[in-house]
Amino acid sequence: MYKSLSLNKVSLSSPTRKRVPFQVKFRISVGIFRHQLLLNSTTKAPHASHACECGNKFLKKKKMDTHKLLPNIFLFTLVVVVVLGSNSVSGHITKTGNEIGEQALSQIAIEKAVYALHESASVSVHPRVLGLEGEDTQWVTVDLEYSEPSENDWVGVFSPATFKSPKISFLQYKYVNSSNSQYTNTGKASLKFQLINQRADFSFALFTGGLSNPKLVAASKNITFANPKAPLYPRLALGKSWDEMTVTWTSGYNIDEAIPFVEWGFKGDLQRPSPAGTLTFHRNSMCGSPARTVGWRDPGFIHTSFLKDLWPNTVYTYRMGHLLSSGSYVWSKMYSFKSSPYPGQDTLQRVIIFGDMGKAERDGSNEYSNYQPGSLNTTDQLIKDLENIDIVFHIGDMTYSNGYISQWDQFTSQVEPIASTVPYMVASGNHERDWPNTGSFYDTKDSGGECGVLAETMFYVPAENRAKFWYSTDYGMFHFCIADTEHDWREGSEQYKFIESCLASADRQKQPWLIFAAHRVLGYSSGLYYGLEGSFEEPMGRESLQKLWQKYKVDMAFYGHVHNYERTCPIYQNQCVNSGKSHYSGTVNGTIHVVVGGAGSHLSAFSQVTPSWSLYKDYDFGFVKLTAFNHSSLLFEYKKSSDGKVYDSFTISRDYRDVLACVHDGCEATTLAS
């Protein structure tokens, strides 16, 4: 998200990024012989985040230093556990009330919660044992009675099921009267909640005093999943080569309890194991509050396996497994994916791009802050059309957890039907990375103290250094350059060199469709704040990059951050270079810039001024779909999340020679001698 933030203070000093040391442990198991190798090393942990801080504060910019397993099968398992150590950075996020755009859980004054059992109050939940048939999510009914009902009474679910203020990890809540209008008259109510497996038991409690002065008057018996440690919520991502797919998932199993792996292979064929690495982090890995205080919850263990030497455009099946010390196995359900086409392969290829989606609860809990009202609609439209999607790019501001760690489980559960089937590629946004004095480009507190640790751990990206969230990736006829706007991108910076190298590496004869993407609007937007600033861009956004987009003939550039949709004409230096609106052909003489940050979070207003380069604007929730039919034909569609229908579209038709043509100052000057 973005708000009006001043840029009056700009610091060009190089900050010392306070990253925490971690231990890396490797364990190798070969067949029934168990040789162990422990390697301890201290290095610098990865870290990343930018944020939008509430209030009139200066936004400082800083320049960065530049298958089934048998006992007789030789199983090679490489397990890496990353345990992050202490970090002295602290911080605080101020609650500003029940505002649109506020993290719902932040409204609960957890530090003020007290235990005040009342003899007339009771809470019961059924069923109490969940997931008996392997489900990772299940609905429960909460029945309650109270002789002194109030419209401020609410029901919260916390996990683990231990009430110890202020170390209570709330997951969801509902006001009783809003779900049961007769509650204040009868003192009785029945509510529905949907729980997901989050590696610990749950308890529901009835609170009085509202969110600002919560008093626990009754609590339910504990609720638990049959296997709370089960491997769950797989998310796919492309590896560092086109023939590699990564599988990342979450479980409650440490490497001392079980060895993680993925069993995979051709659909209907013999499956084989692939080892997985394991990461986790601790409370003191967080950079500040609430992530380090009231928002903290144990994240479990995050595992990643690399499936290599894939055949192009081939369906594979997979499941996650854990080999217990007893010799038994714990399995996830079976999933499948289609591997990537090889670079330049001429097949139908369909790409989804959006930003700023966030998450929401299907049971209607946590809705009072109206934080991400379009999130479920976007998710459901993508699930509905999943057979017609090949890869997804979520370009920043993923969960809007803002330091409430439990929300990452909620998000990975929400997107699991998508992310377990097609590669779910992500970018870093302000709500993942930013925190003062941690090396982020912006000294704001939008990450809620997460400072990039969660994003870097929960999702894999094929970056050389995941603390620096920029990377390139190929998908058939597409070449993608993903930037990290929470680190310096200006000319002379390390990232600038990466961006130019990435753009230059595209073989346009094989990969005619060159796409640039980043979270903040480094190109063009008539969002309200940018309009007021007069820049119609992220300050200093396109100053250095415009010549690269032109030199390497970037087709389209995508951004989030601004929560709406806007498309420009093909543009160069603030001027439209093509008068078309629905079809473009011939020479590539400008880049089309697209803001697609309306995937779920509360919407952002437009400026009253509409620049001449702005062709289509929509104050609604939606996403973009690109369809490459071949090397010469591409379809762009903007779809609304409410109905999945197309509201804006255009086509591009061209030949390779059109990419080679020199336009404006996109080619270097030549002489007879050269």
The pLDDT of residue 596 is above 80:
yes
The pLDDT of residue 70 is above 80:
no
The average pLDDT across 342-354 equals: 98
The pLDDT of residue 82 is above 70:
no
CA–CA dist 293, 663 (Å, integer): 55
The side-by-side arrangement of strands in the sheet containing 79-84 is 42-44, 21-27, 79-84
The pLDDT of residue 242 is above 90:
yes
Two tokens, residue 478: 């597409």
Q: What angle do CA 362, 359, 2 make, to 5 degrees?
A: 140
The whole-number pLDDT of residue 165 equals: 66
pLDDT, greater one: 470 or 658: 470
Average pLDDT, the chain: 85
CA–CA dist 635, 651 (Å, integer): 5
Q: What is the pLDDT of residues 449-460, one digit of tens each?
A: 999 999 999 999
pLDDT, greater one: 99 or 269: 269
The whole-number pLDDT of residue 170 equals: 86
CA–CA dist 388, 421 (Å, integer): 12
- DSSP letter (8 states) at residue 61: B
The whole-number pLDDT of residue 542 equals: 93
pLDDT > 90 in the chain, percent = 74
Band of the pLDDT at 255, cuts 50, 70, 90? very high
pLDDT, greater one: 622 or 52: 622
The whole-number pLDDT of residue 105 equals: 84
What DSSP assignment string belongs to 500-569? HHHHHT--TTT--EEEEEESS-SS---BHHHHHHTSSSSTTSSTTTHHHHHHTT--EEEE-SSSSEEEEE
The pLDDT of residue 78 is above 50:
no
Helix axes 375-384, 406-419, angle to 10 degrees: 20
CB 413 within 8 Å of CB 459: no
CB 168 within 8 Å of CB 113: yes
Band of the pLDDT at 43, cuts 50, 70, 90? very low
The average pLDDT across 37-65 equals: 33
The pLDDT of residue 100 is above 70:
no
Two tokens, residue 573: 């230096």
The whole-number pLDDT of residue 369 equals: 55
Same fold, 104-225 and 234-338: yes
CA–CA dist 499, 202 (Å, integer): 46
CATH entry 2.60.40.380 includes domain 234-338: yes
Q: What is the pLDDT of residues 107-159, one digit of tens each?
A: 888 888 888 999 999 999 999 999 999 999 999 999 999 999 999 999 999 99
Q: Which backbone phi and psi does 471 adopt, to 5 degrees?
A: -165, 165
H or E segment at 326?
none
The average pLDDT across 350-369 equals: 88
Residue 623, strand partner residues = 639
The whole-number pLDDT of residue 107 equals: 87
- Domain spans, the chain: 104-225, 234-338, 349-660
CA–CA dist 60, 48 (Å, integer): 16
| CA-only gyration radius of the chain, Å | 25
Pairing of the two strands 622-628 and 21-27: unpaired
> Which residue, 527, 512, 587, is CA-closest to 560?
527
Q: What angle do CA 393, 458, 361 make, to 5 degrees?
A: 75
The pLDDT of residue 371 is above 90:
no
Q: What is the pLDDT of residues 191-220, one digit of tens each?
A: 999 999 999 999 999 999 999 999 999 999
The average pLDDT across 104-108 equals: 85
Q: What angle do CA 655, 659, 661 make, to 5 degrees?
A: 110
The whole-number pLDDT of residue 665 equals: 60
The pLDDT of residue 60 is above 80:
no
The average pLDDT across 151-177 equals: 88
Q: Of the ranges 57-71, 102-116, 173-187, 232-246, which is most confident? A: 232-246
Residue 191 identity (one-letter amino acid): L
The average pLDDT across 62-75 equals: 35
CATH entry 3.30.300.30 includes domain 349-660: no
The whole-number pLDDT of residue 663 equals: 65
104-225: CATH topology: Immunoglobulin-like (2.60.40)
- DSSP letter (8 states) at residue 495: H
